[in-house]
Structure 1
């Protein structure tokens, strides 16, 4: 009897892995497809002469809104009791809210309207982001944490290029592209939740908070072993920011830096995205099992960050598409390996497991902040010196990020 229980407990949780994969794709593909390609294309239609500055303003506002929303919504998710569980209500409501924002994005015709809509979208999006990643802490056995994280990593490396591939086909028909992303969001999110199968937690007791405990539940962690936690946060922030220095302006890099027509830019975006997809997924599949086998998370994350640093400087060599293809190969491999073990590293440095969604939301806020901080950095550099210098700047960000990860003591 005892032996059978051990066998059951040792089974690999495939449903959880694939549920995380689909749940992540539910928000990631639509968000990145719209944010990196369709939204810049819409802005270019409305205000072509101010597009770089508008992207930077939009990113700044989104960063502030996402920061607050991620912390508050993650903390509320940790303390939710319902017949649907503590994560599902937030994910479902977030899905519905983002769909509404996408619909109104097809209707707005002013920059002010876009900014308001995208700010509300950030609130809705983070209702999904923080609770989905918290399933790793909630349900993943420690011995399989690296491999479960790899499912999330595969999703991260599918989401970026697939979102771009789809979006690049609709640069001249933006609204149709947005509607397609809305459909994909519903299909992937519902599939993910059904696979994870998180049921009612109505019997769960939630500790009532007051005074300093209430404050700590809704702020960045200040107690426990927070040193390694913040090293992971800022290491991730620099990695993602460096990636989005390029991703946030990839359409404009082909058109303005490499002087290609919109048609050629679309063609080369598709090629680059395919390279990112192949290398990213291949290395993401390898990363988690390697981490579980060799019990090494920190080194894999640091090496991946350095590899990304090498990739992002390549386009500075020559304003020609081949440099973006080399970048795609190196950064795809780096993102694959990084994303496959990153969540396992994050779970390992949590200062308080009872605040898993909130604290993991803060770590993963580095994703959201990096996606907006990268374009802000790029905009400043483009304004001062043109496109070429943004690539070595991104490389330096990666090297600093790798140094922070290597300083983590709690994890090998």
Structure 2
């Protein structure tokens, strides 16, 4: 169901009823706001997303672990796992629920801007709490709120893709969305080197810089005020429904969700167990791990960034999404096979490089693909993108359950079988590719 189009605020032109029905959602938004989407808009949009990723990925990948290690040096691994799990729950809930509330907003400041700005401000306050905390309880509460806040901002930011960006440009934008977390983690790590690891500066600086980048986008974003008749009522009993889109009614969306879900389980198996793989399977000494893992992650991040940009750009040119997603899944599966049968660090690096190419190509197109499959991008874009985000967060909770089963297949004398673990990951990646073949509404 598409939202009726009101006269454009800037020109006062009126569209006939038949014209409205023929307009795409981005075209409708141009009519409503008078804001055209071109290179400047897309540049600011990408910068704004990068700001959120810097704010959330810096603590997630660097500073939270430092803070926990300072407060609980003897049990830091277990404490960090618990606090990270608490944050993951917050992210899991916030994305779709905040997206639903954003879809229903009638604020005079627009539907997306209040949630993006509000999420960033609350997130900054929460990171200050974490940085100045003197107990793990306060750190846990602060990280829960921070994850909820930053993911609130992300849910509203992601809704801009199907609402405002024309289909012909979505591949290029999707590429930066897919690699945003990697860029954010690297950028945040650089900022921490500047601020140092003492005090609250290592938390506040990345979040404040992220807010600055977000401001570049939202203060130039034109939105009009929606009426309650357009967006529907806000009812607490509808909140649970924010996390659900009926797969029978929206088959193609469900297939895209399943595809990403399967690939992200395979990815979680790679990233979560790579340290133990290098220790137990390859036989590297513990003292070499920090340096070799840095090299591996640098190669992975570089491959993801390059392949996502190339895949997104090419998918816009050829006007196809499914072939790129399918090939990317197959390439990732190949990488898992290479890692499974490698006994050397060099072989592992080759597998990681191939995995980065596959993962990046997948991430560079999947946002563009799903934006064309949302049940109602005119009125519930944030909810749809929020539900889609669950396909990447739920695997983080499921992979620790699946991994022991795969590690136990064919194990000898109780030793973990990493060959079966990564062959299983390869199978999941192939299934992810197969799922896309049955999508009908996108080429």
- 1:77 CA drift (Å): 0.5
Please tell me whether the aligned partners of residues 149 and 288 of structure 1 are also in contact (alpha carbons under 8 angstroms). yes
Q: SS where residue 278 of structure 1 aligns?
A: helix
Please tell me whether the aligned partners of residues 91 and 127 of structure 1 are also in contact (alpha carbons under 8 angstroms). yes
- Most deviating of 299-308 and 363-372: 363-372
Partner residue, 1:295: 319
Partner residue, 2:8: none
- 1:282 CA drift (Å): 1.9
**Structure 1: runs of 5 or more not aligned:** 1-7
- 1:277 CA drift (Å): 3.6
Matching of residue 125 in structure 1 with residue 150 in structure 2 = yes
Partner residue, 1:369: 394
Q: Distance in 2 between matches of 1:212 and 1:122?
A: 22
Equivalenced residue count is 401
1:304-350 deviation digits (Å, cap 9, x = unpaired): 12322333455555576535533442222223211221111111111
- Most deviating of 288-297 and 265-274: 265-274
TM-score with structure 2 length normalisation?
0.75
1:398 to 429, 432, 436: 429
1:288-318 deviation digits (Å, cap 9, x = unpaired): 2321232321221122123223334555555
Matching of residue 83 in structure 1 with residue 108 in structure 2 = yes
2:329 to 296, 301, 305: 305
Q: Distance in 2 between matches of 1:202 and 1:378?
A: 47
Partner residue, 1:95: 120
- 1:409 CA drift (Å): 2.5
Residues 243-254 of structure 1 mapped to structure 2, 5 A cutoff: 243-248=267-272
1:60-99 deviation digits (Å, cap 9, x = unpaired): 4444433322222101111212332210100111111111
Q: Does the C-alpha gap of structure 1 residues 290 and 35 become closer, same or farther in structure 2, counting only changes over 3 Å?
A: same
Matching of residue 260 in structure 1 with residue 286 in structure 2 = yes
2:309 to 285, 296, 320: 285
Q: Distance in 1 between matches of 2:51 and 2:276?
A: 27
Q: SS where residue 47 of structure 2 aligns?
A: helix
Q: SS where residue 358 of structure 1 aligns?
A: helix
Please tell me whether the aligned partners of residues 308 and 331 of structure 1 are also in contact (alpha carbons under 8 angstroms). yes
Q: Distance in 1 between matches of 2:403 and 2:438?
A: 27
Q: Does the C-alpha gap of structure 1 residues 243 and 109 become closer, same or farther in structure 2, counting only changes over 3 Å?
A: farther
Partner residue, 2:170: 145
Partner residue, 1:409: 440
Matching of residue 16 in structure 1 with residue 41 in structure 2 = yes
- 1:58 CA drift (Å): 4.0
Partner residue, 2:216: 191
Q: Does the C-alpha gap of structure 1 residues 23 and 380 become closer, same or farther in structure 2, counting only changes over 3 Å?
A: farther
Q: Distance in 1 between matches of 2:195 and 2:296?
A: 17
Please tell me whether the aligned partners of residues 242 and 394 of structure 1 are also in contact (alpha carbons under 8 angstroms). yes
CA-based RMSD of the aligned residues comes to 3.8
2:264 to 218, 221, 240: 240
**Which of 1 and 2 has higher RCO (CA within 8 Å, sep 6+)?**
1
- Most deviating of 385-394 and 283-292: 385-394
**Structure 2: runs of 5 or more not aligned:** 1-26, 31-35, 409-413
- 1:271 CA drift (Å): 2.9
Q: SS where residue 230 of structure 2 aligns?
A: coil
Partner residue, 2:96: 71
Q: Which has the higher helix share?
A: 1
Please tell me whether the aligned partners of residues 154 and 284 of structure 1 are also in contact (alpha carbons under 8 angstroms). yes
Please tell me whether the aligned partners of residues 42 and 174 of structure 1 are also in contact (alpha carbons under 8 angstroms). no
Residues 306-345 of structure 1 mapped to structure 2, 5 A cutoff: 306-312=330-336, 314-317=338-341, 321-345=345-369
Higher alpha-carbon Rg? 2
Q: Distance in 2 between matches of 1:125 and 1:192?
A: 16
Q: Distance in 1 between matches of 2:51 and 2:404?
A: 29
